[in-house]
Amino acid sequence: MAREFSRTDRVAQQVHKEVASILQNEYKHRVGDMPLITVSEVEVSRDLAHAKIYVTIYNSTEEEGKAQVKQLKELKGFIRSILAKRLRMRSVPDLHFFEDKSIIEGMRISNLVSQTIATDESKRDLDDEQESE
């Protein structure tokens, strides 16, 4: 029977879990006041040398989001050193941080759809009232 998950998938899952924990606990204490940051996805290269970490930054403007990603990139050595203590691997992947805007964009589109539906229903109600008169 073949394995359900490849090694890269298992490593990505573990890196995701640990980096999320690091951002929640150690990073927050080092940086201080920061918006809510969540790790949305981690992709690990086949040779396990690099990890792309996609983070979603809530309650921030675009400039603040870019500043947070820049700060994560500057502190990647700190995050990687903590990660090395937690993972049982010979070498820890090099971390690359990217802002993931898909969740925020999805919420924006969902709000637009809700507004459009509400507008259509109000127009339909007005049309029904005018027909009944």
pTM over 0.85: no
Q: What is the mean pLDDT of the chain?
A: 85
Domain that holds residue 123: 101-132
- Same domain assignment for residues 22 and 68: yes
- Same domain assignment for residues 29 and 78: yes
CA distance 116 to 28: 39
Q: What's the total number of domains in the chain? A: 2
Cβ(91)–Cβ(49) below 8 Å: yes
State yes or no: pLDDT of 48 exceeds 70. yes
- Same domain assignment for residues 94 and 112: no
- Same domain assignment for residues 106 and 81: no
- Same domain assignment for residues 87 and 115: no
- Same domain assignment for residues 27 and 81: yes
pLDDT band of residue 63 (cuts 50, 70, 90) is confident
- Same domain assignment for residues 30 and 47: yes
Work out whether the CA dihedral 22, 25, 30, 31 comes out positive or negative: positive
- Same domain assignment for residues 119 and 91: no
**CATH assignment at residue 45:** 3.30.300.20
- Same domain assignment for residues 56 and 114: no
- Same domain assignment for residues 71 and 87: yes
94-122: pLDDT as tens digits = 999 999 888 778 888 999 999 999 898 88
- Same domain assignment for residues 64 and 108: no
- Same domain assignment for residues 119 and 81: no
Task: Give, in order, the Cα–Cα distances in Å from 5 to each of 28, 31, 43.
Answer: 32, 35, 14
Task: Give, in order, the Cα–Cα distances in Å from 71 to each of 18, 24, 39, 64, 91.
Answer: 18, 15, 15, 10, 24
